[in-house]
Structures are given as structure tokens and as C-alpha cells.
Amino acid sequence: TPLPQQPPPSRPLLAVAHRGASGYAPENTLAAIDEAHRLGARTVEVDVQLTSDDHLVLMHDTSLDRTTDVAEVFPGRAPYEVADFTLAEIRRLDAGSFFGDEFEGEPVPLLAEALDRLHVLDMNLLLEVKEPELYPGIEHQIAVELARRPHWLVPNTPGESHRLVVQSFDWESVELSKGLLPSVPHALLGRVPQDRIDEFDWAHMINPNHTTIDAGYVDSVHAAGLEIMPYTINDPEVMARVLDMGVDGFITDLPDVGQRVIDEF
Ligand code: G3P
Ligand code: CA
């Protein structure tokens, strides 16, 4: 019989700014990271994908269409997949105007730029590898980018918030990334079935949709020695409800609202 795991060390509860402070600024841009900082967030979540010429950029959808002016700049290139555009092409796009005129001209950032901005701001990163099956080798490219900035790879002091967590809905990709970045904590996105949680003893965190969990599930994750931060919660009542379940934080477009709920908890 395996010995019961230690519960995870206690860390400050976190309101993670989803895609940056994406309730207030265009998602996955440096403007959204800056806004998260201005609002007092400690950690931001962003999504990373690969351009056709192998540059890591922040983008949520696999198509550039929803959050940029790609259809105007490159008519006829539908469905505008990130994987079909070079970095130079993507840099011509406006990733701010879809959110508001005041963000006109905001570019799609490189992961490298986001890492450097977060470092200057002394913020932490929850990095989602988006649709890794479309980008074979993306985990290695991320590891190379981080190795150029070794401060991101320094393990945390117990009790401090994680400096960096890498996560994906693709659990094989997460395991591959853990092998490349052994000092970095990793998270499984989605609801790992309760009877399978013990299989993932190399992971640090399970981050499910908030609608799929209850207090019993949170206890099971903690009993396996893992942390849990559900996504994406913008309603203060739901934030308070998951805090009551015992989560370690949650992911929200509204990090200021999230922090207020945490402060009142
Ligand atoms: O961090 C979890 C959350 O971002 C996953 O959903 O679709 O917003 O990437 P999505
Ligand atoms: Ca995400």
C-alpha cells in the first residue's frame, strides 16, 4: 500500500489574472500583464503557441481572427491559423483594437517579451501550452527560452507563491515538459478523475473548470499532495464558494475582484 502523500505546503491564496487582466485589457498582451500588475495581481496566466517559423507567441485561439485584425491585413488567408503565419506577419497585427480603441496597435507579444516584462514587474507566471499536438517540439522550445532566463527556473522557497507553473489540457505534453524542466512545477488542466489522481505524482497542481469540482474533489487533490486552482471565475459568489471548498486560488479575468474576495475570506 503506498504511503499517504503529505498535503501541499500552505501558500498565499491566489487570484490569478487570466490571459493577463483580460476583463480590463486585451487578453494575452503586455497591456493585460501591466494592468494585472496595476491591480495588484501576483500571478498571470497566459497561453503560448508557435508561429510557422517557430517563434513562441501569446495567443489563446489557434486562429488569429477573434483578437486581431488579421482578416483585414491578410485577406484570403482564412482560417488564419497561428501555425500558418510567420512572426513578422503576426507582428503587423493589431491585437488591441478588438477590446477597445485605446489599445489600438497593441502587438501580439513573444513569450520572451512576456517573461521579461513579468520579471521586471516581479510577477509570477502560469504558462498554458495551448494545443501542443499542433506544435510538435513546443515543450522543448519553451525549455530553451526559459534556459536563457535561468531566474525563472530557480525553485521556490516553501510557502512562497510559485514563480512559474507550466500547464496544459494535454497531460502527455505536461509530462514531457516536466521531464525537460524538472525544477518547474507543472499543472494538469481539466478534471483528472478522482481514481486517477495518484497517477500524476510528478505534477504539482490540478486546475479544473470550477463547474466540475466540489469539496470532496478538492480534498482528494490535496490528499495526493497536489494543489488546485479552478478556472475561470468572475462571479464573487462563486469565488467565495470555491474558497470554502478549500482551493489554493482561482483563475479570473478580474484579479482585483478576486483579491477582494480573498481578503474578505
Ligand atoms: O488557466 C486555465 C484556463 O485558461 C483554461 O481555459 O480556454 O481560457 O485557456 P482557457
Ligand atoms: Ca489559458
Residues 74-99: tens digit of each pLDDT: 999 999 999 999 999 999 999 999 99
Instruction: Report residue 20 CA to chain centroid gap.
Output: 9
Distance CA 182, CA 100 (A): 40
Q: Ligand 2: distance of its center to the CA of 2 in Å?
A: 34
Reported as a single tens digit per residue, the pLDDT across 221-234 is 999 999 999 999 99
Q: Which ligand 1 atom sits nearest the alpha carbon of residue 19? A: 4
Residue 110 near residue 90 (C-beta atoms within 8 A): no
Q: Which domain holds residue 246?
A: 14-264
76 assigned to some structural domain:
yes
Distance CA 22, CA 112 (A): 20
ipTM more than 0.85?
A: yes
Q: Which ligand 1 atom sits nearest the alpha carbon of residue 16? A: 1
1 assigned to some structural domain:
no
108 assigned to some structural domain:
yes
52 assigned to some structural domain:
yes
194 assigned to some structural domain:
yes
Q: Ligand 2: distance of its center to the CA of 11 in Å?
A: 22
**CATH number of the domain where residue 177 is located:** 3.20.20.190
pLDDT of residue 8: 78
Q: Ligand 2: distance of its center to the CA of 39 in Å?
A: 20
3 assigned to some structural domain:
no
Q: How far apart are the first and last CA of the chain?
A: 37
Q: What is the DSSP letter of 13?
A: -
Angle between helices 138-147 and 111-121 (to 10 degrees): 40
- Ligand 1 cavity residues, CB under 6 Å: 18, 45, 47, 60, 128, 189, 207, 231-232, 251
Residues 149-171: b if buried by 16+ CB within 10 A, e if exposed: eeebeeebeeeebbbbbbbbebb
How many independent structural domains does the chain possess? 1
Q: Atom 2 in ligand 1: which residue has the minimum CA distance?
A: 231
Q: Is the pLDDT of residue 3 over 70?
A: no
135 assigned to some structural domain:
yes
131 assigned to some structural domain:
yes
**One-letter amino acid of 235:** D
